[in-house]
Structure 1
């Protein structure tokens, strides 16, 4: 599938901003299930300096500095992405028992290092609490295959929680969204990650986009889409001697009840990944001035007929 993504971010300031430094995650990277054909970021006013590199998670990061006074800032990211379906991975019932995976990651002498261990611990938006562990254990029963249980937990969030636009913001703790049983995709992703980590399983946060279809007879709204968020859980391999080793990541989208290795589907675009939202925030930075500001974001995901 060929998808064109336009992500517009518009700030207005009062009083003017005198100087600003910004850091953006707005350019997708190539993955097993997507190829970046073109990606550009346009900034107005034009930055005095900018550079691009990749962070420790492989995300494309753009830094730019504004040295002149400005009352508005417009950042437009445009990308053309060719996506494909999910890659091969073991069937959910063929994955290791979740307790075996938990013990694989439990620290002890002569532990074999697995890079997925980084996604076991608390992070700025993820706290490990008994409430999350209790929530997860209703699905993670004794001896149940890891991915089978994780998909079931994802489906439980999908069926029991209510998506309520603007019911939360970035400062809303995941435990609050868990207790209220409502939120947006970011909340559902944080709840699923916290639940998995609280029982000793690695999970990471994925930001990106999903192609949405307008109701029958209605035109697609330009700017009417939004960024999306979902989760990836680590599934170690299991050899013939019942020993665990290097595995694969499987994506889980509790907002839409979708899952798959590498991606939940070809209608998804993977933008960035990290421990939680704090690692993949689309725009963050430091400004001097602009005590009051207004932010407007518009996202459009268009299928391109090839």
Structure 2
């Protein structure tokens, strides 16, 4: 599938802002399931500084600053992305969750030291596999917005049956979250703790992704947060509403010999052609689409519009320098 994504954020301030500094993660990622063919920003007022970089997790980051006084700020990012279909045969990997937990806990110390020094040469240790495991380990730990607890571990317990394949564990957990929780945009904010989401069984996609990640990490399983978009399918006979699509969130779990497998608990599905990935990290705080600081401004209002438009599929793979 080929998509054009238009993500517009508009701020209106009651008083002039003299200076604002911002950081955006709105440039879609390139990886095995997706290729970003183009991405560019339209910012008004025009920024005085505009710098692009790649962060620790491999996400594209755009920094910009506006130094002229303004009462409105509009940030639009327009991207064209190709999402490739791939059939995932979940039944192939029968690795139990206990074996994956043990693998992540007991990476040989010698391999860790050699990896840190860039000297993995032992024939008995696969360098790529060791680096992959070391990378996965960071997603087992608590993070700013995902803190494990006895309550979360208790909720996840019925999915973690003894010797159950990890893929089956995660599928069961995803389905339970989809069934047990109500999608309610009015209930939570970015600051709502997971304990409240678990207690009231309500939230949005961000909450459900955080909840699943916390449940998995409470059992020593590596899980990471993914931000992006999902195409909205228009009902037959109805006109497509421009800007009606929204940002979305889901999660991925590390499966040995399979890599990172994605799950969408909000829709009880495995992401494929309709899920477009922006960024991934430990939780939402690592992948916030747009954040910053403003000096002045008084009170402000914020509006966000996202449009995901499916385009005719015409693909020419880009040649990358070796």
Q: Scaled by the length of structure 2, what TM-score is found?
A: 0.87
Tell me, in whole angstroms, the C-alpha distance in 2 between the residues paired with 1:268 and 1:111. Answer: 39
**Per the alignment, in what secondary structure is the counterpart of residue 137 of structure 1?**
helix
Which runs of 5 or more residues in structure 2 are unaligned? 113-132, 314-322
* Contact in 2 for aligned 1:50/1:64 (Cα 8 Å): yes
**Partner residue of 2:163?**
143
Quote how far apart the aligned CAs of 1:188 are: 0.3
**Partner residue of 1:257?**
268
**Partner residue of 1:101?**
100
**Per the alignment, in what secondary structure is the counterpart of residue 71 of structure 2?**
strand
Deviates more, 1:92-101 or 1:133-142: 92-101
Alignment partner of 1:291 out of 289, 293, 298: 298
Quote how far apart the aligned CAs of 1:126 are: 0.5
Aligned residues between the structures: 292
Quote how far apart the aligned CAs of 1:292 are: 0.8
Q: Is 2:226 the partner of 1:219? A: no
**Per the alignment, in what secondary structure is the counterpart of residue 216 of structure 1?**
coil
**Per the alignment, in what secondary structure is the counterpart of residue 257 of structure 1?**
coil
Q: Give the root-mean-square deviation of aligned CA atoms.
A: 1.5
Tell me, in whole angstroms, the C-alpha distance in 1 between the residues paired with 2:276 and 2:142. Answer: 26
Quote how far apart the aligned CAs of 1:153 are: 0.5
Quote how far apart the aligned CAs of 1:214 are: 1.8
Alignment partner of 1:152 out of 155, 165, 172: 172
Deviates more, 1:216-225 or 1:189-198: 216-225
* Contact in 2 for aligned 1:92/1:145 (Cα 8 Å): no
* Contact in 2 for aligned 1:39/1:79 (Cα 8 Å): yes
* Contact in 2 for aligned 1:98/1:146 (Cα 8 Å): yes
**Partner residue of 1:243?**
none
* Contact in 2 for aligned 1:8/1:298 (Cα 8 Å): yes
Quote how far apart the aligned CAs of 1:92 are: 4.0
Cα deviation code 1:231-287 (max 9, x no counterpart)? 0000013xxxxxxxxx5000000001111xxxx111110100000000010111111
In terms of fraction of residues, the more strand-rich structure is: 1
Tell me, in whole angstroms, the C-alpha distance in 2 between the residues paired with 1:104 and 1:175. Answer: 29
Quote how far apart the aligned CAs of 1:215 are: 2.2
**Per the alignment, in what secondary structure is the counterpart of residue 215 of structure 1?**
coil
Quote how far apart the aligned CAs of 1:112 are: 4.7
Alignment of 1:27-42 (within 5 A): 27-42=27-42
Tell me, in whole angstroms, the C-alpha distance in 1 between the residues paired with 2:12 and 2:91. Answer: 48
Tell me, in whole angstroms, the C-alpha distance in 1 between the residues paired with 2:86 and 2:197. Answer: 30
Cα deviation code 1:114-157 (max 9, x no counterpart)? 21001011111001101111111101110000111111100111
Alignment of 1:1-306 (within 5 A): 1-86=1-86, 91-92=90-91, 94-106=93-105, 110=109, 112-113=111-112, 114=133, 115-237=135-257, 247-259=258-270, 264-306=271-313
**Partner residue of 2:126?**
none
Which runs of 5 or more residues in structure 1 are unaligned? 238-246
Quote how far apart the aligned CAs of 1:86 are: 2.9
**Per the alignment, in what secondary structure is the counterpart of residue 22 of structure 2?**
strand
Tell me, in whole angstroms, the C-alpha distance in 2 between the residues paired with 1:186 and 1:290. Answer: 28
Cα deviation code 1:166-189 (max 9, x no counterpart)? 221101111211111111100000
**Partner residue of 2:118?**
none
Q: Scaled by the length of structure 1, what TM-score is found?
A: 0.92
